[in-house]
Amino acid sequence: MKRAQEEPLCHHCANVVSTIFTKLTPDEVEYINDRKRCSRYEKGLIMYEEGGRTNGFYCICSGIVKVYKTGVEGKEQIIRFAKKGDIIGYRSIISGEPACTSAKILEEAVICFIYTPDLYNLLKKNAEFGIELLQLACTELGEANNYITDIAQKSVRERLAEVLVSLKQNFGLDDDNILQIYLTREELANLIGTATESVIRLLSEFKQDKLIELQGRKIRIVDEKKLTRIANMM
């Protein structure tokens, strides 16, 4: 069957044992497996846009997705980068509001789509599953509160150092200590809420101070400890 190739089985998916889906019964996994749609998304594709409505949410099997808002005068504010195992787009279908963010593929991705009615069926049937999703939302809420405090109180320099450290924690380094996510200077700027030029200047300061090395968009983390200290991370 063609479908079997396009649609990986949920039973074999690593996400099912490590994410909100852990509390599903085998039957429920089967249910999701039958109803989800899995697709490959090319770099640059926009999955959904702020202000719009979706009729489901996404579970990322591989790749990287940029989740962002468009602020005053069209300036992009990046909320997060989602990767393997992350769930996105659930917020708006739960709260019943239009999407408060847009999502764009940063690295070619394989992503499953689960329809709102199917999600609600599971939520109604399996309270434990609901609690899992609630936990996820609460964790994200805590992260958002931290982020608010950081942006409000820290300098651009501190925030850049912090972002480098937290990107390292989320996306890791390769054998050469190179950050496994490649962002433009502008994206870095839109993540920490500053001007592109400021990011460029501060990155080359960090380079001079031997905290990082730069090769185009590749960033080698040389001295994470000092970066952490600069970031004022507790």
Partner DNA sequence: CGTTTTGTTGAAACATTTCAAAATAGGTGG
Partner DNA sequence: CCACCTATTTTGAAATGTTTCAACAAAACG
Residues that bind its own copies (CB under 8 A): 69, 71-72, 75, 77, 79, 90-92, 94-97, 100-101, 120, 123-128, 130-131, 133-135, 137-142, 144-154, 158, 192-193, 232
Residue whose pair of structure tokens reads 């329809």 in the numeric block: 115
Minimum Å gap between C-beta 213 and its own copies is: 28
Minimum Å gap between C-beta 80 and its own copies is: 9
- Smaller CB separation from its own copies, 4 or 234: 234
149 binding partner (options DNA, its own copies, none; Cβ < 5 to 8 Å by kind) = its own copies
Q: Please count the other Cβ atoms lying within 10 Å of the Cβ belonging to residue 11.
A: 12
Q: Please count the other Cβ atoms lying within 10 Å of the Cβ belonging to residue 234.
A: 4
Residue 150 to residue 172: CA distance in whole angstroms:
22
Q: Residue 194 carries which side chain, given as an amino acid letter?
A: T
Element (H, E) at 230: helix 224-230
46 binding partner (options DNA, its own copies, none; Cβ < 5 to 8 Å by kind) = none
Residue 81 — φ and ψ, nearest 5°?
A: -110, 125
82 and 68 Cβ atoms separated by less than 8 Å: no
51 and 119 Cβ atoms separated by less than 8 Å: no
| Binding residues for DNA restricted to 182-201, rule: CB under 7 A | 184-186, 193-198, 200-201
Minimum Å gap between C-beta 170 and DNA is: 20
- Smaller CB separation from DNA, 16 or 231: 231
186 binding partner (options its own copies, DNA, none; Cβ < 5 to 8 Å by kind) = DNA
Q: From residue 144 to residue 183, what is the string marking binding to DNA with x (rule CB under 7 A)? A: -----------xxx--------------------------
- Smaller CB separation from its own copies, 148 or 214: 148
In DSSP notation, 80-105 reads EEEETT-EESHHHHHHTSPPSSEEEE
Residue 48 to residue 230: CA distance in whole angstroms:
36
Residues that bind DNA (CB under 7 A): 155-157, 184-186, 193-198, 200-201, 203-204, 214, 216-217
